[in-house]
Structure 1
Amino acid sequence: MPAERKKILLRLDPAVHDALARWAGDELRSTNAQIEFLLRRALAGAGRMPSAAAGIPRRGRPTKTAAPSEERAAAEGDTAPEDDTPPDVLP
Structure 2
Amino acid sequence: MASPGKKAYPLRIDPALWEALQRLAARDLRSVNAEIEFLLREGLARRGVKINGDGAGRESGEP
One-letter amino acid of the structure 1 residue matched with residue 17 of structure 2: V
One-letter amino acid of the structure 1 residue matched with residue 30 of structure 2: R
Structure 2: distance between partners of 1:45 and 1:39: 10
Structure 2: distance between partners of 1:39 and 1:10: 14
Tell whether 2:41 aligns with 1:40. Answer: yes
Structure 1: distance between partners of 2:37 and 2:53: 12
In structure 2, list runs of 5 or more residues that go unmatched.
Answer: 56-63
Task: Report the counterpart of residue 11 of structure 1 in structure 2.
Answer: 12
Task: Report the counterpart of residue 61 of structure 2 in structure 1.
Answer: none
One-letter amino acid of the structure 1 residue matched with residue 44 of structure 2: L
Any idea what the Cα deviations from partners look like across 1:14-57, whole Å, max 9, x if unmatched? 0100000010000100000000000000111101123x2436xx
Normalised TM-score (structure 1): 0.52
- Higher normalized contact order (CA 8 Å, seq sep 6+, divided by chain length): 2
* RMSD (Å), alpha carbons: 1.5
Could you list the runs of 4 or more consecutive aligned residues of structure 1 that deviate by over 2 angstroms after TM superposition? 52-55
SS of aligned partner of 1:43: helix
Structure 2: distance between partners of 1:37 and 1:54: 15
Q: How many residues align?
A: 52
One-letter amino acid of the structure 1 residue matched with residue 42 of structure 2: R
Mapping 1:63-82, distance limit 5 Å: none
